[in-house]
Structure 1
Amino acid sequence: MSKQRCDHCHLEYDTSILLEDVHFNPPKFFCCKGCQGIYHLLQEEGLENFYEKMGETTLVPPKAHLEESVRFDLEGFVSKYVKQTPEGLSEISLIIEGIHCSACVWLNEKVISKQEGVVEVSINYSNHKAKIVWDSSLTKLSKIIEAIRSIGYNAYPYDPKGGEERANALRREYYSKLLVGVFATMNVMWIAIAQYAGYFTGMQENVKNILNFAGFVLATPTLFYTGSVYFKGAYYGLKNRYITMDFLVATGATLAYSFSIYAMFSKSAEVYFDSVTMIVTFVFAGKYLEVLSKKKAVDTLDAYGGVLPTEVLVIQGNEKALVRVESVGVGDVIEVKAGDKIVIDGLITQGEGSFDLSHLSGESEPVLLKKGDKLLSGALCLDSVIRYEASSTFSSSMLTRLVALLEDALSKKPHIEKFANQLSGYFSRTILFLALCTWTFWYFQSGSFETALIVAISVIVIACPCALSLATPVATLVGLGLAAKRGILFKEAGFLESMAKCDTLILDKTGTITKGKPDVVEMKTLKIVDFSLIYALANASNHPISQGVVRFIKEREELLHVKALEQIKSFEAKGLSAVYEGHVLLGGNAKMMQEAGIEIVLEEQFDALSHYFFAIDGELVAIFGLKDSLKEGAKESIDALRALGLEIIMLSGDHQRVSETIAKEVGITTFKAGLLPDEKASYIETLRQQTKKVVMAGDGINDTLALSQSEIAIAMGSGADVAVEVSDIILTNDSMKSLHDAFVISRMSLKVIKENLAFSLLYNVVTIPLAMSGHVIPLIAALSMSLSSLVVVGNSMRIKHVLKGL
Structure 2
Amino acid sequence: MPKVECNHCHLSFDDEIMIKENDLRFCCNGCQNVHHILKSDGLESFYEKLGNKKIAPPLEISNNDLDKFDSQNFLDNYTTFTKDGFLQIDLILEGIHCAACVWLNEKVLYDTKGVFEANINFTTNKAKIIFNPEVIKLSQIILKIRSIGYNAYAYDSSIADIEANKAKQDYFIRMMVAVVCTMNIMMLSVAKYTGFFTGMSNEVKQMIHFAEFILTTPVLFFSGWVFYKGAYFGLKNKIVSMDLAVSTGATLTYTYSMAVLFHITRGESYFDSVAMIITFVLVGKYLEVIGKKSAVDTLDKIKSTIPLEATVIKNGEKKVLALNSVKVGDIIEIKTGEKVAVDGKITFGSASFDESSLTGESLPVYKKEGDNVYSGTINLDSLVHFEVTKDFKNSTFSSIVTLLEDSLNSKPKIQSLANKISRKFSATILTIAFITFLVWYFLGLDLGFYFDGINQFERSFMVAVSVIIIACPCALALATPMASLVGISQLAKKSLLFKEAKFIETIANATTVIFDKTGTLTKGELSIVNATYFDKNEKNLSLLFSLVDSSNHPISQSIKKYLQENITYQKLFLENIKNIEAKGLSASFEDLEILGGNIELLKEFGIEFEFTTNNSLYIFAINKKVVAIFELEDDIKDDAKELIDYLKKEQVEVIMLTGDNKYVASKVANNLKIEKFYSSQTPTSKANYIKELKNSGKIVVMVGDGVNDSVALASSDVSIAMGNSADVSLSVSDIVLLNSKLKALKDAFVISKKTYKHIKQNLIFSLVYNAVTIPLAMLGYVIPLFAALSMSLSSLIVILNSLRIKKGLK
Give me the TM-score of the superposition, normalised by structure 2: 0.83
Could you tell me whether the CA contact under 8 Å between 1:130 and 1:411 is conserved in 2?
no
Shift of 1:541: 3.0
Cα distance in 2, alignment partners of residues 381 and 435 from structure 1: 65
Shift of 1:155: 11
1:46-94 per-residue CA deviation (whole Å, 9 max, x = no partner) reads xxxxxxxxxxxxxxxx965344999999628766434342434443457
Aligned mate of 1:636, from 638, 642, 648:
642
Aligned mate of 1:545, from 555, 567, 586:
555
Cα distance in 2, alignment partners of residues 304 and 221 from structure 1: 40
Aligned mate of 1:645, from 647, 651, 655:
651
1:245-260 correspondence runs (5 A): 245-260=242-257
Shift of 1:563: 3.2
1:515-545 per-residue CA deviation (whole Å, 9 max, x = no partner) reads 2231212112234433223222332333322
Compare 334-343 and 590-599 and name the one that shifted more.
590-599
Compare 763-772 and 577-586 and name the one that shifted more.
577-586
Tell me if 1:492 matches 2:500. Answer: yes
Instruction: Give the aligned length.
Output: 726
Do the aligned partners of residues 120 and 462 (structure 1) sit closer, same or farther apart at CA in structure 2, a change above 3 Å counting? farther
Structure 2 stretches of 5 or more lacking a match? Answer: 1-29, 31-55, 445-454
Shift of 1:789: 1.0
1:166-245 correspondence runs (5 A): 166-245=163-242
Corresponding position of 2:679 = 673
RMSD: 3.4
Shift of 1:131: 8.1
Do the aligned partners of residues 681 and 223 (structure 1) sit closer, same or farther apart at CA in structure 2, a change above 3 Å counting? same
Secondary structure of the structure 1 residue equivalent to 2:637 = coil
1:646-681 per-residue CA deviation (whole Å, 9 max, x = no partner) reads 100000101000001111122211100011111111
Corresponding position of 2:769 = 763
Shift of 1:286: 0.5
Secondary structure of the structure 2 residue equivalent to 1:331 = coil
Shift of 1:232: 1.9
Shift of 1:281: 0.6
Shift of 1:280: 0.8
Aligned mate of 2:474, from 466, 473, 485:
466
Secondary structure of the structure 2 residue equivalent to 1:242 = coil
Structure 1 stretches of 5 or more lacking a match? Answer: 1-33, 35-61, 98-105
Shift of 1:122: 10
Compare 451-460 and 494-503 and name the one that shifted more.
494-503
Amino acid at match of 1:319: E
Secondary structure of the structure 1 residue equivalent to 2:214 = helix
1:663-742 correspondence runs (5 A): 663-742=669-748
Could you tell me whether the CA contact under 8 Å between 1:536 and 1:562 is conserved in 2?
yes
Could you tell me whether the CA contact under 8 Å between 2:90 and 2:129 is conserved in 1?
no
Cα distance in 1, alignment partners of residues 186 and 104 from structure 2: 43
Could you tell me whether the CA contact under 8 Å between 2:336 and 2:381 is conserved in 1?
yes
Could you tell me whether the CA contact under 8 Å between 1:498 and 1:712 is conserved in 2?
yes
Corresponding position of 2:384 = 386
Do the aligned partners of residues 65 and 758 (structure 1) sit closer, same or farther apart at CA in structure 2, a change above 3 Å counting? farther
Shift of 1:738: 1.6
Cα distance in 2, alignment partners of residues 112 and 794 from structure 1: 41
Shift of 1:479: 1.4
Cα distance in 2, alignment partners of residues 305 and 124 from structure 1: 27
Shift of 1:289: 0.8
Cα distance in 2, alignment partners of residues 466 and 146 from structure 1: 41
1:317-332 correspondence runs (5 A): 317-332=315-330
1:539-568 per-residue CA deviation (whole Å, 9 max, x = no partner) reads 2333322222111111012x3223344554
Secondary structure of the structure 2 residue equivalent to 1:65 = coil
Amino acid at match of 2:582: A
Tell me if 1:781 matches 2:787. Answer: yes
Shift of 1:509: 0.5
Secondary structure of the structure 2 residue equivalent to 1:629 = coil
Tell me if 1:134 matches 2:130. Answer: yes
Amino acid at match of 2:664: V
Could you tell me whether the CA contact under 8 Å between 2:507 and 2:701 is conserved in 1?
yes
Aligned mate of 1:274, from 272, 275, 297:
272
Tell me if 1:800 matches 2:806. Answer: yes
Shift of 1:382: 3.5
Compare 505-514 and 545-554 and name the one that shifted more.
545-554
Do the aligned partners of residues 81 and 568 (structure 1) sit closer, same or farther apart at CA in structure 2, a change above 3 Å counting? closer
Could you tell me whether the CA contact under 8 Å between 2:106 and 2:120 is conserved in 1?
no
Could you tell me whether the CA contact under 8 Å between 2:145 and 2:152 is conserved in 1?
no
Compare 397-406 and 235-244 and name the one that shifted more.
235-244
Aligned mate of 1:532, from 525, 542, 546:
542
Aligned mate of 1:593, from 588, 593, 602:
602
1:104-119 correspondence runs (5 A): 116=110, 117=115, 119=117
Could you tell me whether the CA contact under 8 Å between 1:69 and 1:143 is conserved in 2?
no
Shift of 1:169: 2.1
Could you tell me whether the CA contact under 8 Å between 1:519 and 1:628 is conserved in 2?
yes
Cα distance in 1, alignment partners of residues 640 and 166 from structure 2: 47
Could you tell me whether the CA contact under 8 Å between 1:89 and 1:133 is conserved in 2?
no
Could you tell me whether the CA contact under 8 Å between 2:307 and 2:376 is conserved in 1?
no
Cα distance in 1, alignment partners of residues 585 and 803 from structure 2: 54
Corresponding position of 2:43 = none
Do the aligned partners of residues 238 and 330 (structure 1) sit closer, same or farther apart at CA in structure 2, a change above 3 Å counting? closer
Cα distance in 2, alignment partners of residues 657 and 794 from structure 1: 52
Tell me if 1:513 matches 2:513. Answer: no
Could you tell me whether the CA contact under 8 Å between 1:339 and 1:381 is conserved in 2?
yes
Cα distance in 1, alignment partners of residues 57 and 210 from structure 2: 47
Do the aligned partners of residues 121 and 492 (structure 1) sit closer, same or farther apart at CA in structure 2, a change above 3 Å counting? farther
Shift of 1:146: 13
Aligned mate of 2:396, from 395, 398, 401:
398
Secondary structure of the structure 2 residue equivalent to 1:624 = strand
Could you tell me whether the CA contact under 8 Å between 1:505 and 1:694 is conserved in 2?
yes
Shift of 1:367: 2.6
Do the aligned partners of residues 410 and 157 (structure 1) sit closer, same or farther apart at CA in structure 2, a change above 3 Å counting? farther
Shift of 1:364: 3.7
Secondary structure of the structure 2 residue equivalent to 1:168 = helix
Do the aligned partners of residues 493 and 595 (structure 1) sit closer, same or farther apart at CA in structure 2, a change above 3 Å counting? closer
Corresponding position of 1:17 = none
1:336-357 per-residue CA deviation (whole Å, 9 max, x = no partner) reads 2244332311111223333232
Shift of 1:142: 9.0
Cα distance in 2, alignment partners of residues 124 and 628 from structure 1: 57
Corresponding position of 2:8 = none
Could you tell me whether the CA contact under 8 Å between 1:91 and 1:131 is conserved in 2?
no
Aligned mate of 2:458, from 450, 454, 457:
450
Secondary structure of the structure 1 residue equivalent to 2:619 = strand
Shift of 1:358: 2.9
Do the aligned partners of residues 595 and 184 (structure 1) sit closer, same or farther apart at CA in structure 2, a change above 3 Å counting? closer
Do the aligned partners of residues 668 and 595 (structure 1) sit closer, same or farther apart at CA in structure 2, a change above 3 Å counting? same
Compare 457-466 and 743-752 and name the one that shifted more.
743-752
Amino acid at match of 2:347: T
Corresponding position of 2:585 = 576
Secondary structure of the structure 2 residue equivalent to 1:653 = coil
Could you tell me whether the CA contact under 8 Å between 2:553 and 2:706 is conserved in 1?
no
Corresponding position of 2:292 = 294
Do the aligned partners of residues 611 and 797 (structure 1) sit closer, same or farther apart at CA in structure 2, a change above 3 Å counting? same
Cα distance in 2, alignment partners of residues 494 and 262 from structure 1: 51
Cα distance in 1, alignment partners of residues 392 and 552 from structure 2: 25
Compare 573-582 and 265-274 and name the one that shifted more.
573-582
Corresponding position of 1:502 = 510
Cα distance in 2, alignment partners of residues 160 and 303 from structure 1: 15
